[in-house]
């Protein structure tokens, strides 16, 4: 190799821990199964951490997104990530990164709730640095329109199909009233509700989140099947019953994709798996870059 030529970093692959920690997936699954006994929503939490973590400096473990403005007071799931890390440190000390833990836990959480299955590519390492300023600007706002949302994800190499597929992570989990109440009472500063919201759905949400609510009350992201990973999310959007503004915006910017996924759960599952692998390979640290955080 000519002098000065850099050796290419190894790519992510599904067999990365086959020798160094062969039971990694089983260990993650065991901790997730245990956690689910006391928290039926546990499957939704790692996927949000993984998704948002990949926005900031690539998929490099939990860091600056924890207390970034878009997540202030609402991001959860750190406890199960810590429990998984502790179990893996006991079995394979200083081997498995936090970034890979989130990737595996996301797959386990989705599959255990009836959703897609895919082989997780591994080999990410954790960053040694944080960038809260980037987190504040890179993480999408809950009030972004479709063009703004697509622009945010395009920086990760994701297209409009990926945007729609990955948004369905909101088919399970819960959201605080503060994340959507402006759409109930003062949409875009109009002093009234979002005119596109289904009227019955609007009335239900106003009962859950009255004007006096402090914004912390929780409600299901998917009212039709709150604890299952399925394509009912898209049926909700077709009926103008998307909880978050970024959800309902998909019908204005990608109607054909929403209708496609609403009509075929199997094709949606396949697309979601592809998009998760694609997102998970966004700017990872590999080789000797970064560290394995203990």
253 a known binding residue?
A: no
Reference 31, options 138, 117, 104; nearest CA is: 104
CA 242/CA 251 separation, integer angstroms: 10
Q: For residue 83, what are its two tokens?
A: 């429990």
230 a known binding residue?
A: yes
Concatenated DSSP letters of 128-153: S---HHHHHHHSPPTT--HHHHHHHH
Q: What share of the chain is helix, strand, coil (3-state, %, to 5)?
A: 50, 5, 45
Those residues whose C-beta lies under 8 Å from the C-beta of residue 252, and which sit 6 or more positions away, are 145, 146
171 a known binding residue?
A: yes
170 a known binding residue?
A: yes
Start-to-end CA span in the chain (Å)? 35
140 a known binding residue?
A: yes
Active-site residue set: 52
50 a known binding residue?
A: no
178 a known binding residue?
A: no
Those residues whose C-beta lies under 8 Å from the C-beta of residue 56, and which sit 6 or more positions away, are 63, 64, 65, 68, 131, 134, 135, 138, 139
220 a known binding residue?
A: no
60 a known binding residue?
A: yes
Q: Binding site for heme b: which residues?
A: 170
Q: Binding site membership: which residues?
A: 56, 58, 60, 65, 140, 170-171, 222, 230
Residues making up the binding site for Ca(2+): 56, 58, 60, 65, 171, 222, 230
């Amino acid at each position: 190799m000519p002098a000065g030529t850099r050796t290419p970093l190894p790519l992510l692959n599904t067999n990365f821990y086959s020798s160094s920690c062969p039971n990694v997936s089983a260990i993650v699954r065991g901790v997730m199964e245990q956690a689910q006994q006391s928290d039926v929503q546990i499957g939704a939490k790692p996927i949000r951490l993984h998704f948002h973590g990949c926005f900031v400096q690539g998929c490099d473990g939990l860091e600056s997104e924890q207390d970034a403005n878009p997540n202030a007071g609402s991001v959860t799931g750190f406890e199960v990530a810590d429990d998984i890390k502790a179990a893996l440190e006991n079995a394979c000390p200083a081997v498995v990164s936090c970034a890979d833990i989130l990737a595996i836990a996301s797959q386990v959480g989705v599959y255990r709730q009836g959703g897609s299955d895919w082989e997780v590519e591994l080999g990410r390492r954790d960053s040694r640095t944080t960038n809260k300023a980037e987190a504040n600007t890179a993480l999408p706002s809950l009030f972004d329109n479709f063009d703004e949302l697509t622009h945010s994800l395009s920086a990760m190499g994701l297209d409009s199909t990926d945007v729609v597929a990955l948004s369905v992570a909101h088919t399970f989990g819960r959201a605080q009233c503060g994340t959507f109440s402006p759409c109930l009472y003062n949409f875009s500063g109009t002093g009234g509700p979002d005119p596109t919201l289904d009227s019955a759905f609007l009335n239900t949400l106003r009962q859950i989140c009255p004007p006096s609510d402090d914004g912390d009350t929780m409600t299901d992201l998917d009212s039709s099947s709150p604890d299952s990973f399925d394509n009912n999310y898209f049926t909700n959007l077709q009926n103008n019953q998307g909880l978050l503004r970024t959800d309902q915006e998909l019908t204005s910017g990608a109607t054909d994709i929403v209708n496609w996924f609403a009509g075929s759960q199997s094709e949606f599952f396949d697309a979601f798996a592809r998009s998760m692998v694609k997102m998970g390979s966004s700017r990872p640290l590999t080789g000797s870059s970064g560290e394995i955080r203990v």
